[in-house]
Amino acid sequence: MPKEFGRHERIAGSVQRGLAQLLSSEVNDPRVAGLTVTEVRVSSDCRHANVFVTKMTKATDQDIEDILEGIGRASGFLRSRLAKAMDLRRCPELHFEYDYNVQRASDLTALIDSVQPAEPESDG
């Protein structure tokens, strides 16, 4: 039997798609340019949404701070645009967090690539 998704999961998917579109086309702040929305978790009462964003390039701690400040300033605009686009009576309040998973995966890949393969033992 297929898993049925609840209302908050459907809203999370809509919020993720809507934010991705808005970030790429309507937000002019250079601090949020190139951001990717990796996940959205909506509370069971659909009043709050934790939005996880990342940058596909390496980001320093200062970059992350700037990203969160920039997207925090745009959150009211994003929420109002989402409410209109999604035709919801109440759009969830957006809470942005930086998703470090892409950066961790990149660091781990670099670490694995840096390990030199062992010299084959010679039978001699």
pLDDT of residue 1: 44
pLDDT over 80 at 3, yes or no: no
Range 63-92 average pLDDT: 90
Q: What are phi and psi of 43, to 5 degrees?
A: -65, 160
The answer to whether 59 touches 27, Cβ cutoff 8 Å, is: no
pLDDT in tens, 16-43: 999 999 999 988 889 888 899 999 999 9
3-state DSSP assignment of residue 113: helix
Q: What strand order describes the sheet that includes 93-98?
A: 35-42, 48-55, 93-98
pLDDT over 60 at 12, yes or no: yes
Query: What Rg do the C-alpha atoms of the chain give, in angstroms?
Result: 20
Q: Note whether residue 85 is domain-resident.
A: yes
User: What is the number of domains present in the chain?
Assistant: 1
Q: Considering the entire predicted model, what is its pTM?
A: 0.80
pLDDT of residue 68: 93
3-state DSSP assignment of residue 21: helix
Q: Note whether residue 93 is domain-resident.
A: yes
Q: Note whether residue 122 is domain-resident.
A: no
**Domain harbouring 24, CATH code:** 3.30.300.20
Q: Note whether residue 21 is domain-resident.
A: yes
Average confidence score pLDDT of the chain = 86
